[in-house]
Every structure is written in C-alpha cells, then in structure tokens.
Amino acid sequence: MFRRGSRPSIKDIQGDLERALALLKEARRVVVLTGAGISTPSGIPDFRSDATGLWSFTNPMEVATIWAFRDYPQRFYQWLQPLAKDIIKARPNPAHHALAEMERQGVVNTIITQNIDGLHQAAGSQHVLEIHGHLREMHCLTCGWEEASQPYLEAFIRSGDMPICPQCGSVMKPKVVLFGEALPHEVVVASQEAALHSDLMLVVGSSLEVMPAADLPALAVRSGSKLIIANLGMTPLDHLADVLVRGDVAQTLPWLAKRMA
C-alpha cells in the first residue's frame, strides 16, 4: 500500500490499470473528458486543490465573473497575468501526448476539455471540444471585434497593459467562459452527443464539480457507457465508475497508450 498523501506508483495501482486497459480494448467509441489535473504536470495550476488551487487565493466571484469583468476589467487582468504566463510557456506533458497517440491509434474518438490552455491541440489531438472556451482569440463585448490574442497577451504580460479593441477602444476579453456567461451552445451540444453515443468515457484530471461538464459522465453511464475515472482525488461520481485509477496521469495514460498500440 502507498502512504496516505503520497502519489501511488504504477506498481501500486497495477490491477486498476489492467482493468482500465481491458475496458479500453473492448470499447469502440471512447470519449475523454479532461480537467485541470491533466495540465498541472505542465506547470499550470488547477483551481480547486486545497492550499495550491487558484481559488484558494482568490474569490472567483470577485475576478472571474462576467459582471466583474465589465465593471472592473483591471481586476480580471491582474488575476489572469500569472496564469497567462504559465499557459504561454507550458508545453504538453506525457498525458496529453498519450491521448493524442490513442487518437492516432483509433482508440479515442473525441476529447472534451474543461481547460483553456490548448495543450491537447499542441500535442496533436484533432477532435477537441473546448467547453470553457480558449485563449487563442480576443473578443470585444462592445462592438463584437475579434482577433488573435497572441500579440495582445504577449504585450500584456510584458507591460501589464490590458488588450484594447482597435475598433472602439473598449477592453477586450479572451474567449474564455467566465462565471455568469453561457457556455458555447454548439460545443455543449456536441459534448452531450459525444457522451450519449460513447461506449466508454475516460475522465482525466477533473474534480467533476463544475456543471454541465461534470454531468457528462453520468449522462454517458445512463446511456450504457462504461466509465473510467483517472484522478488523484475523489470525485462526486466515483460511485458510478467501473474503474478508478488513482495515479499521476502523466504516468498512467502513457502506460495505457503503450499497451493499446
């Protein structure tokens, strides 16, 4: 047994991995749901971990709602600056590469991600649904202007200057979904369709606490899908899982991908 609070090794969870591998080999339509935990090995902090999560230091209602952005955009950008730095310098880790490899193998059909970092695409994944948006583009809430975000974010990180719309002069917002905003309708519908038509859902690095993404595994199970949850911590849907893999996803996913080849 591994010590409480320590990260189990592959040897510690060998039996769980073997059961997960057997389910993956039987499946014909695998849908993956990823959360912040897949990107923490790339140096991007998650939101909800005790003592280290971003919401341990900041009240999200003060900086990450659409109302806070409209009234005090400088607060949002002050909060975003260190996270944007981490995302810009981050590179895909072995877990991202493992999922991309399983897609190339024809094992994984769709990746639904709660992350805004674009690391799945950087690793080579092609079929990615970004349910909480992304940082690739800026959007002006006043006039609707849209533009690639890279030059704005790089200038913002260097100088702290907020991105200003070249058309109307308002502060632009990255195309990330803030609290109080509607999720992108087409992405939500596509994610629900993917869950409904899966025969195996693999959850990777998600606390399964944020709706509606958190309901997708339950939707899949109600439709007859098997469920694997690969996460270091417990989730509210653990009781629905056929297999729980309590390991470092940067180790467990490559282990599975290698044996699916």
Residues annotated as catalytic (active site), given as ranges: 132
Q: Residue 141 in contact with residue 173, Cβ under 8 Å?
A: yes
Phi-psi region of 6 (alpha: psi -120 to 50; beta: other; left: phi over 0): beta
Per DSSP, the three-state class of 209 is coil
Helix (H) or strand (E) holding 104: helix 94-104
C-alpha closest to that of 147 among 121, 174, 115: 174
Count the Cβ atoms, other than its own, within 10 Å of residue 169: 10
Residue 204 token pair: 């990777």
Cβ partners under 8 Å of residue 78, min gap 6: 63
Residue 52 token pair: 């280290």
Query: In DSSP terms, which residues pair with 233 in a beta bridge?
Result: none
Count the Cβ atoms, other than its own, within 10 Å of residue 28: 10
Per DSSP, the three-state class of 182 is coil
DSSP label of 28: S
